[in-house]
Amino acid sequence: MGTHRMSPENVERFINEQLKEDLRVYEKRLKELNAEMLEYVQLKHMIETILTQDNRSVFKTQVNVGGNMFIKARAENVEHILVDVGLKVYVEFKIEEAIRFVEMKIKVLTKEVDVVREKSIETRAHIKLALLVIGDSQQLHTTQDDR
């Protein structure tokens, strides 16, 4: 039985075409998940602010209308709020239900971030290992050639 050895060129091609592409995908997904989690954390803080108010009949705030431009807003009734539950689908929640949903969503996103981060770390380790293998094999070839 013959053993199949990958040449340093093939390993390098695998690193560039597969591993680095996987790493790019993981980093992009991490960025998206962190942005989504930030939105839910901000929503949680807003809901907590509403819950600490004695008078919930009127709530004044500033709303981001895009490009970090804000306008003043006033809600007449904050007993119910609309929450984006994903895929641009909004569900009306009572304020107490909304805080429970947001906390659950943050936990789910945190676990997903942890999984993707682990995959990213694992891929980085594979890249480093492959580069070490290339370096060692090139060093081995030069020492054998010197003999």
Q: pLDDT tens digit string along 104-138? A: 999 999 999 999 999 999 999 999 988 888 877 66
Instruction: Specify the pTM.
Output: 0.77
Task: Give me the residues of the chain with pLDDT under 50, please.
Answer: 1-3
pLDDT of residue 65: 87
| Nearest CA-CA partner of 81 in 41, 36, 51 | 51
Give the span between the Cα atoms of 56 and 50, in whole angstroms.
7
pLDDT of residue 78: 85
Helices (H), 7-94: 8-14, 20-52
pLDDT of residue 2: 45
Per CATH, domain 9-52+80-140 is 1.10.287: yes
In this structure, what are the phi and psi dihedrals at residue 61, rounded to the nearest 5 degrees?
Answer: -155, -175
pLDDT of residue 1: 45
pLDDT of residue 121: 96
Domain boundaries, the chain: 9-52+80-140
